[in-house]
Each structure stands twice: as C-alpha cells, then as structure tokens.
Structure 1
Amino acid sequence: MVTASPESALRIAAEVPDPELPMLTLADLGVLHGVDVTPEGSVVVRLTPTYAGCPAVAEMRAEVTARLLAAGFADVRVVTVLDPPWTTDRITDEGRRKLAEHGIAPPGPRDTPGPTWVGLALAPPAVPCPRCASADTEELSRFAATACTALRRCRTCLEPFPHVKDLP
C-alpha cells in the first residue's frame, strides 16, 4: 500500500484515456470532476459524464479503479456526479487541440454559447473543417459515432468529419 496523496491520485486518474475519444484523457475532456483522499487513505474519484446515460462511464470507472489499485492505492471508489452537469466548456484547450489534430472539430469557443433550445445547442453558425480550415461546412447528421458528436462535411475538401456538439 502507498501513502495516498491527493496529487498522485489526481495525476493517475487524469491520465486515463476516454474510451470513446482515446486521444483525450479524462482531464482533457473535463469529465474528471475531482479526486479526494479521506483521512483513512481511501481515494474517491468523481466523474461527470458528458451526459447522464453515457455508456462509457462504466469503462471509465473500471479503468480509473484499475490504475489506482495498480499504483498501490488500497481502497478506491469512483462516483458519478451529475450536478453540475458537464458542458463543452469543460474541455481543456489541450483537449480542443487534440480533437482538431485528430480530425474532429472541437465545439465552439469556450464561454461563447451559441443559440440554444431547451439547453441543447443548435447547429453552430460555423464549424471549421479540421482538415483544411474552411468554414464552408454542413451538418449531415445530428448524431455520429458517439452521442456527443455530429457528422459534418466540408464543402471545400469534401471530407466528412465528426464535430463535438456544443453543450452550454
């Protein structure tokens, strides 16, 4: 058993890749809500999924637990936190860079909400192509490989690409 320091537990949990967007860590995506170490040495990790029914939460929980146990932490609990809910503003600048680098258009600029309806962002006014940077893109489908992405196509280079939907 290791001495359970909040810093080492946080570092380990932060490095876990997202199961659906593996180029991002849980910290990059902003789903890692926090890590606490109790006086007894138990590690409590708080995850805020991108949406309440996210099927990847079970895999996130299992991977965080496995990595912390492998690092020598004896007692690990991972809890889901839904309040406050996750928003795309939680994606870090590094996460946004990694998304674009992997051909996925990140959501709009942080702290700049687009038009919304019942808390869900409508199609953003312009989503630049992550391949050629053209702003002349169109939405093909509101849903893509994951519930938090939409499928778009660039009218300039004609390449389709996923876009992480803006959630205020």
Structure 2
Amino acid sequence: MVTTLNDARAVAETVTDPELPMLTLADLGVLRDVSEEDGTVMVTITPTYSGCPALEAMRDDLVRALREAGYERVEVRTALRHAWSTDWITEAGRRKLAEAGIAPPGPAPRRASGPVPLTLRPPASRVRCPRCGSPETEEVSRFSATACKALRRCHACAEPFEHVKEL
C-alpha cells in the first residue's frame, strides 16, 4: 500500500487530461497541489477555464487513480484563483502537443488585472505548423474540438491542425 505524500503526488501526476490524453494534468498545469489533511489526500486543480466540461472527468480520474494506489480518503478541490494560463503548460507538455500534431500555445498575452477585453478579430500571432514547421498558417475556425483550441490550416503542406489558444 502506498503511504507517503510524495507517492500520492506521483500518482496524481500520472493522470491524463480527458480532452488532451497525450498530456497529464501536471503537463497541462492543471494539477496545482497535493497535500494531506487528517488522513485525507487533498488534490487541488485549476481548470483551463471555469466552465470546462472536463472538470468532472478530471476529478473522477484523480480519485480513481489515488484510490487504486491505496489512498482510501481522497478529496479534489477546484481553485479558480489564480486563473489558469497556457504559460502553466510544461515544456514536456508543449513537446507532447507538437508530437501529437497540435500546435502548442505561444506566450500568454499580458493583461492588467480586471476584465478581459473582447476582441472580434483573431489574434495576429504566427502559429507554426506542427507537421512541417511553416509559419504560413491561417485560422479556419476560432473553435475546434474544445473551446481551448482553434482549427488552423498550413499554406505550405495544406494540412489542417489544431492549436491550443494562448490564454
């Protein structure tokens, strides 16, 4: 039976994201903390956005993995402060996205605190094709399979691909 907090963290770090299964929640930066309180393993996660439909699956997968590892009492908490940012994706996570044919995000836009400004135009950032590396790509749709991704097309190799949007 697993009994140390470091082991609990190691187990939690293996749980994959339900929408991007090539990434663990740790790779994605969603796994924020693993602690112990009165014999209960407490896991804190921050979803990629507050309405993320994968949040329930993340919670269930964490509880299942930790219970299978021998932790009987597990609680998963959601922290919305500070808001998740694509800057929290690890270098390994960015590499795994590219290897899966999904363009990783660039640096998140820097904003002052307060309301997020609404823009009606797609961002002007250059996104490299994860297949051929060309920067000559265009956004086809601001939304893809999930709200966190956009659909793009490469002008060089003509392949469509997804891009994790900078947040």
The alignment's TM-score, normalised by the length of structure 1, stands at 0.91
CA 1:106 to 1:31, structure 2 compared with 1: closer, same or farther past 3 Å? same
SS in 2 for 1:55: coil
Partner Cα separation in structure 2 for residue 56 and residue 92 of structure 1? 20
**Which residue matches 2:137?**
137
CA contact (8 A) 1:115 1:124 kept: no
- What is the 5 A alignment of 1:89-128? 89-109=87-107, 113=109, 118=116, 123-128=123-128
Cross-structure match for 2:157: 157
Q: Does 1:21 align with 2:20?
A: yes
The count of residues paired between Structure 1 and Structure 2 equals 163
CA contact (8 A) 1:143 1:150 kept: yes
Report the residue type matching 2:129 in the other structure.
C
Q: CA, structure 1 residues 132+13, in 2 after alignment: closer, same or farther (shift >3 Å)? A: same
The runs of 5 or more residues in structure 1 that have no matched partner are: none
Q: Secondary structure at the match of 1:37?
A: strand
1:123 Cα deviation after fit: 1.7
Partner letter of residue 63 of structure 2?
T
Q: What percentage of residue pairs aligned between the two structures are identical?
A: 57
Task: Please give the alpha-carbon distance, in whole angstroms, between the structure 2 residues aligned to 1:106 and 1:96.
Answer: 5
CA displacement at 1:120 relative to structure 2: 7.1
- Aligned partners of 1:119, 1:78: CA distance in 2, in Å? 31
- Residue type of the partner of 2:14? E
Q: CA deviation at 1:118?
A: 2.2
Deviation by residue 1:104-126 (Cα, 9 ceiling, x = unmatched)? 000004xx637999257852420
1:35 maps onto 2:31 in alignment: no
Structure 1 contact 114–124 (Cα < 8 Å) conserved: no
Instruction: Give unmatched runs, 5+ long, in structure 2.
Output: none
- Any conservation in 2 of the 1:45–1:79 contact (CA below 8 Å)? yes
CA contact (8 A) 1:99 1:106 kept: yes
Query: In structure 1, what is the equivalent of residue 43 of structure 2?
Result: 45
**Aligned partners of 1:50 and 1:26: how far apart in 2?**
10
Deviation at 1:90, TM superposition (A): 0.4
Partner SS for 2:26: helix
CA shift digits 1:44-74 (9 cap, x unpaired): 0001000001010100100100110111111
Distance 1:120 1:76, change over 3 A: farther
Give RMSD over aligned pairs: 2.0
1:69 match: 67
Distance in 1, matches of 2:111 and 2:130, equals 22
